């Protein structure tokens, strides 16, 4: 790998005024990204941020690199095309829970299953912020909003479960209250070859303030955030007094003192079968119970753009260059 130009966080900041509501969690994510980029050995001219619609989608404006503010839900599709045409680029996809999981849900799952080399950051605040507070695909049942005055009837998506169900090769979770954790998680996603999805718990302090605070505030994190570390028994709590075991095909939390030590689940992010990672993603029923964060899955699988390029090269070698004019005039034709 050639050495990239040396940069500072300020070099990654564009000249655009950052326009999110004061106190929005997006500021924290943006700062983490700007601080991370100089450490990745990448050039700004080879880095692209692509977004859809929503508050999160302003992100490309604020990074001093190439970028595109796309249309609602289509960022994974646009990014897939770019990744296949230009596999030399570092491509980050930015979107919120509404943008990515509602109109964009179909594009997201296919980018993940194809394993296109994209780094997808899904900002999850469990609400539609830009359109002023309607319930989103991750809002809890019973959520009272402008579009659900009697409470939402929709069962919410779990973004990590969804990604694992699509057999994404890299799936992780972080939150906007811990910059170092965000940077470490984004770095792992960048190092991964293939589709990487990172769910970011993000606070919308105007329309859904404090949605995650029962598990992400500093004074409750030790008891409620379960840090996944590859190769280590899963333990958490102020004094590591709690752990995770699997019983009857289901992950559950226990007091470490109540079970044999070897009963604790040892986290294996490289396990080919995603079922254990899926169990971990279902450990919490909502942001009021101990919730895993970190890397759930990181496996090697053939990357899509690389495979497509090899397939085209093989076809050209065996069949020669095609004749576009002949193809357009082949088969049945008619006159109107």
Rounded to whole angstroms, what are the CA distances from 244 to 65, 73, 150, 227, 279? Answer: 42, 36, 37, 11, 11
* CB-CB contact of 101 with 76 (8 Å): no
Phi, psi of 55 (to 5 degrees): -60, -45
Phi, psi of 303 (to 5 degrees): -85, 140
Q: Which domains does the chain have, with CATH numbers?
A: 9-211+303-308 (3.40.50.970)
Q: How far is CA 158 from the centre of its chain?
A: 12
Bridge partners for 63 per DSSP: 13
Per-residue tokens: 80: 């897939």
Bridge partners for 243 per DSSP: 235, 254
pLDDT of residue 3: 87
Rounded to whole angstroms, what are the CA distances from 241 to 162, 254, 282, 318? Answer: 30, 9, 21, 62
pLDDT digits (tens, 9 = 90+) for 80-130: 999 999 999 999 999 999 999 999 999 999 999 999 999 999 999 999 999
* CB-CB contact of 183 with 28 (8 Å): no
Rounded to whole angstroms, what are the CA distances from 224 to 25, 237, 280, 286? Answer: 20, 7, 14, 11
CA–CA distance, 273 with 302 (Å, rounded to integer): 16
pLDDT of residue 1: 61
298: exposed, middle or buried (Cβ count in 10 Å: 0-12, 13-18, 19+): buried
CA–CA distance, 219 with 156 (Å, rounded to integer): 27
Contacts 24+ apart (CB under 8 A), 325-329: none
Nearest to 21 by CA among 149, 159, 177, 208: 208
Rounded to whole angstroms, what are the CA distances from 120 to 3, 97, 109, 207, 273? Answer: 25, 12, 11, 24, 22
pLDDT of residue 219: 94
pLDDT of residue 320: 80
Please count the residues of the chain.
336
3-state secondary structure the chain: CCCCCCCCHHHHECCCCCCCCCCCCHHHHHHHHHHHHHHCCCCHHHEEEEECCCCHHHHHHHECCEEEECCCCCHHHHHHHHHHHCCCCEEEEEEEHHHHHHHCHHHHHHHHHHCCCCEEEEEECCCECCCCCECCCCCCCCCCECCECCCCCCCCCCHHHHHHHCCCCEEEEEECCCHHHHHHHHHHHHHCCCCEEEEEECCCCCCCCCCCHHHHCCCCHHHHEEEECCCCECEECCCCCEEEEEECCEEEEEEHHHCCHHHCCECCCCCCCCHHHHHHHCCCCCCCCCEEEEEEEECCCCCHHHHHHHHHHHHHHHHCCCCHHHHHCCCCCCCC
Per-residue tokens: 117: 């080399």
Q: Could you say which residues of the chain have pLDDT below 50? A: none
């Amino acid at each position: 790998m050639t050495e990239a130009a040396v940069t500072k966080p300020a070099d990654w900041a564009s000249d655009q005024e950052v326009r999110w509501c004061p106190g929005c969690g997006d500021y924290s994510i943006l700062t983490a990204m700007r601080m991370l980029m100089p450490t990745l050995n990448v050039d700004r001219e080879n880095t692209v941020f692509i977004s859809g619609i929503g508050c999160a989608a302003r992100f490309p404006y604020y990074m001093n690199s190439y970028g595109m503010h796309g249309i609602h839900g289509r960022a994974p599709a646009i990014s897939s095309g770019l990744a296949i045409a230009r596999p030399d680029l570092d491509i980050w996809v930015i979107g919120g829970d509404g943008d990515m999981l509602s109109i964009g849900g179909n594009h997201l799952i296919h980018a993940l299953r194809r394993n296109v080399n994209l780094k997808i950051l899904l900002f999850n605040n469990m609400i539609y912020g830009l359109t002023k507070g309607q319930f989103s695909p991750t809002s809890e049942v019973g959520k009272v909003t402008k579009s659900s005055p009697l409470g939402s009837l929709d069962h919410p998506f779990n973004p990590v479960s969804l990604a694992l169900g699509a057999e994404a090769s890299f799936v992780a979770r972080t939150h906007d209250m811990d910059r170092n954790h965000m940077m470490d998680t984004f770095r792992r996603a960048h190092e991964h070859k293939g589709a990487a999805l990172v769910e970011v718990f993000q606070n919308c302090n105007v329309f859904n303030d404090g949605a995650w605070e029962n598990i992400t505030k500093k004074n409750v994190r030790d008891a409620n955030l379960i840090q996944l570390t590859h190769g280590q028994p899963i333990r958490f709590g102020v004094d590591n007094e709690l752990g995770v075991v699997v019983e009857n095909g289901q992950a559950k939390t226990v007091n470490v003192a109540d079970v044999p030590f070897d009963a604790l689940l040892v986290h294996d992010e490289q396990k080919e079968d995603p079922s254990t990672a899926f169990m971990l993603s279902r450990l919490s029923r909502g942001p009021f119970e101990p919730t895993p964060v970190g890397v759930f899955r990181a496996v090697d699988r053939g990357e899509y753009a690389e495979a497509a390029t090899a397939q085209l090269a093989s076809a050209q070698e065996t069949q020669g260059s095609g004749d576009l004019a002949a193809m357009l005039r082949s088969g049945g034709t008619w006159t109107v």
